[in-house]
Every structure is written in C-alpha cells, then in structure tokens.
C-alpha cells in the first residue's frame, strides 16, 4: 500500500510537471468519483464497525469448530459478510487452524472473505450498477465454495 | 409514485442513519463505561475510517491521472475485446502489483472499463485483485503456509476467470456508470477538448470512439458548478 502511495505521488508530480491543466482535470475526475460514492462509504464504515465488534475469534471458533456442512457454510457466510483486512484475517485464520478448524472451513472462510463483499455491496452497486454487482457477488460466492472444496480435497 | 419517492429518500438517509447509530453507540459507551459494545463499534468504525482516509485518496488520484493520461487505444489494444486471452496475464500482473482492500480496486476497474477494457476483463481483473495481491500472499504464506496459499491461488485462477466469462454472459452490454457531479451539469464537451497533451496522435486515431463514449462524463475543466 505504501508503495502504491509513493507511486501515485510520483505520478502526480510528473503529471504536474508535464501539464498542470490536465493534472487538475485528473484530480477533479477522481474527486467527483469519490463524492458520488460518499454515502455508500459512510454506510460501509458503519456496517463494518457494527459487524467487526460482533465478530471475535472465540465466536468464530465456536462457529467453525465442527467439520460438517454447517461449519463449512458458516465459513462461507462469515467470510462473505465480513470485511477484514488481510493483516488481521490471516493471523486470525492461523489461530483458528491452531485450534483445530479444518482446512475446508478455513479455505471457505478465506476465499469468500477475499472474493465476496456483502458489506461493500452498496459501494459496488454505485460503481458497477445493481445487476453486475449482485451477479459478481453471487458468482464469487459460488466460486469460493468450489475453490474451498477443491482445496480441501487437494490439501487433505 | 409517492411511495417510490419515500423509498428513495429512505435509501438516501440510510447511510447517514447508520453513521449516526455508530456515533450514538459510541457516545453511549462514553457515558456508561460498562457498555463496551458501543466502544468497540466506535473503535472499529474509526479504524475503518482511517484505513479509507489513507487508501481512497491515493486510489482516486491514481484513477484520475490514469483517466487523463493513458490513451484509450493502448488499453483497448491490450485489454479490450480484441485482445482475447492475451489480456489475462496483463490483468493478473496489474492486480498482483496492487495492494489494499477490494473496494480500492473498484475505481481502478471503472477507470479501465472507461478506457475500453472489455467487461469480461474488468471482472477478471477484480477477481485477480481479490485473490492474488502480493502483499496479501505474503501474509497468507506467513500464517497459513505455502501449501495453502499455492493451492488457493492455483484453484482460484480458473475460478475467477470463469466468473469473468459468466459475468459477460449474465450482464450483457455492461458499461461503467457515469460519474457526473450531482449538480447535474449539462455540458457534454467532447474529449477532443482536452487533447492537447503528448498523445495527440493516439487521440486522433480514436477520437470518434472516445467522444462517443465519454459524452456525459469527462474530466474537462469547463463544466464547473453553475
């Protein structure tokens, strides 16, 4: 992320040096996009705040603990709804594995966490339109389930 | 008619209501310290806010610069419909080199789409971004080990390419929505207006295409607030 910020800053400076008017146009473009999605962002921040405080590792452990279909599905569901940055999610997944959560459930949780974003759906709808955003999430959820199942077979 | 207006108004109010709820919960925990749920809600919302304050300006700045500098022809050639499967390695490379959460990739995907990246490739890019970012992989390898990461990457790869193909089928004719300022400016100044930069020769080739697509929304500085 830092590298990206540095890259963007460098690009901005080069752009400024090359053509100030055009740079300003670019900044305005970005700002307008940001303004358009602002309400969705506020919703997302609030939803994440509420959800993250409801989820804690112990709760997840009790949810994922079994090895049956229910824990697999709850892995998918929690992964789909939660929006947890990687630097928190993977340590958490590591802890869960150490506590005996099966690979299938862990894979379901991680893949759907990465590919599906229910909380970010309002934002995604703003960007891509309702139909595309909904389909992308539905398909990604299905893909996450398939990936997790195959992983469970491969890694057994 | 009236009920629809109420629904849209409610929808518009929802984000601010949710934000208000978080604030009230947090405030309640200030007043009654034993109400720790409110404090946690406040803290994680703040964390999220800080993360976005850091990521979004960078992303939108990058996308804005991309919009004004990158010639449409080159994106069309490498990532457009005609590019075929040769586009996939480029999409994956682009996605791997990035960082941050998936919602940070949304503006980038829109930026690509506006420059002629085909819908299928836009969604393949999103899939690749969601599961193949290098910073993410380093964390995953660290905490879950190589076998897990490698298996996930290799199995996800065909999965999100398939998602891209299906998206093209399921949402035919998808195009990125316009991002007009909500003030409703009605000055469809053609893009040629801003083509004074170094890639004029590119623009001349595709100016017809360009102005067709970007009539409603372009970065021209003229159409300011009324």
Domain ranges, ordered by start, for chain B: 1-57
Q: Would you tell me which residues 143-202 of chain B have a C-beta closer than 8 angstroms to some C-beta of chain A?
A: 143-144, 147-148, 151-152, 155-156, 159-160, 162-163, 166-167, 170-171, 174, 176-177, 179-182, 194, 196-198
Cβ pair A53:B166 closer than 8 A: no
pLDDT for B125: 94
Confidence of residue A85 (pLDDT cuts 50, 70, 90): confident
Confidence of residue A67 (pLDDT cuts 50, 70, 90): low
pLDDT for B203: 36
User: What's this model's pTM, rounded to 2 decimal places?
Assistant: 0.74
* A25 found inside a domain: no
Interface predicted TM-score (ipTM) over 0.90: no
Does A68 or A106 have the greater pLDDT score?
A106
Long-range contacts of B48-53 (CB under 8 A, 24+ apart): B48/A44, B48/A45, B48/A48, B48/A49, B48/A52, B48/A83, B49/A45, B51/A85, B51/B101, B52/A41, B52/A45
Cβ pair B139:A86 closer than 8 A: yes
pLDDT for B1: 59
At A116, is the secondary structure helix, strand, or coil? coil
* A118 found inside a domain: yes
Reported as half-sphere exposure (CB side, CA atoms, 13 A), residue A18 has a value of 16
Residue B107 and residue A124: Cα distance in Å, rounded?
10
Number of domains in chain A: 1
Summarised one tens digit per residue, pLDDT across range B168-209 is 999 888 888 776 544 333 333 333 333 333 333 333 333 334
Q: Most A CBs within 10 Å: which of B10, B44, B98, B174, as the mutation test of the A interface? A: B44
Shortest CA gap A18–chain B (Å): 9
* A125 found inside a domain: yes
Q: In which residue ranges of chain B is pLDDT below 70?
A: 1-2, 179-226
What residues of chain B lie within 8 A of the CB of A52, using their CB?
40, 44, 48
* A11 found inside a domain: no
Domain assignment of residue A119, given as a range: 38-154
């Amino acid at each position: 992320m830092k590298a990206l910020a540095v890259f963007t800053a460098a690009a901005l400076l080069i752009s400024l040096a090359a053509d100030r008017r055009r740079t300003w146009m670019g900044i305005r473009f970005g700002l307008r996009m940001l303004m358009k999605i602002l309400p969705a962002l506020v919703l997302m921040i609030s939803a994440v705040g509420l959800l993250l405080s409801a989820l804690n590792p112990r709760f997840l452990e009790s949810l994922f603990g079994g090895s049956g279909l229910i824990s697999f599905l709850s892995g998918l569901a929690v992964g789909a709804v939660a929006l947890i940055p990687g630097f928190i999610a993977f340590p958490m997944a590591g802890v869960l594995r150490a506590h005996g959560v099966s690979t299938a459930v862990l894979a379901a949780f991680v893949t759907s966490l990465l590919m599906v974003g229910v909380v970010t759906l309002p934002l995604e709808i703003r960007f891509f339109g309702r139909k595309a955003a909904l389909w992308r999430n539905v398909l990604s959820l299905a893909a996450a389930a398939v990936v997790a199942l195959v992983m469970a077979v491969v890694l057994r | 008619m009236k009920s629809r207006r109420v629904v849209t108004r409610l929808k518009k109010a929802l984000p601010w209501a949710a934000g208000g709820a978080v604030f009230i919960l947090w405030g309640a925990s200030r007043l009654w310290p034993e109400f720790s749920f409110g404090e946690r809600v406040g803290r994680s919302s703040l964390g999220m806010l800080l993360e976005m304050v850091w990521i979004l300006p960078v992303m939108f700045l990058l996308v804005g610069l991309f919009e004004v500098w990158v010639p449409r022809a080159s994106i069309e050639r490498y990532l457009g419909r005609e590019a075929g499967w040769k586009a996939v390695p480029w999409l994956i490379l682009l996605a791997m080199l990035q960082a941050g959460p998936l919602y940070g990739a949304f503006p980038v995907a829109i930026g690509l789409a506006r420059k002629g990246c085909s819908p299928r490739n836009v969604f393949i890019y999103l899939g690749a971004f969601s599961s193949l970012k290098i910073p993410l992989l380093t964390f995953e390898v660290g905490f879950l080990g190589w076998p897990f990461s490698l298996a996930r990457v290799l199995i996800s790869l065909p999965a999100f390419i398939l998602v891209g193909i299906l998206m093209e089928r399921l949402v035919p004719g998808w195009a990125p929505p316009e991002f007009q300022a909500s003030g409703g400016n009605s000055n469809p100044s053609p893009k040629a207006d801003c083509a004074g930069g170094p890639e004029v020769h590119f623009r001349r080739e595709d100016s017809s295409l360009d102005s067709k697509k970007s009539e409603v929304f372009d970065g021209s500085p003229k159409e300011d607030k009324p």
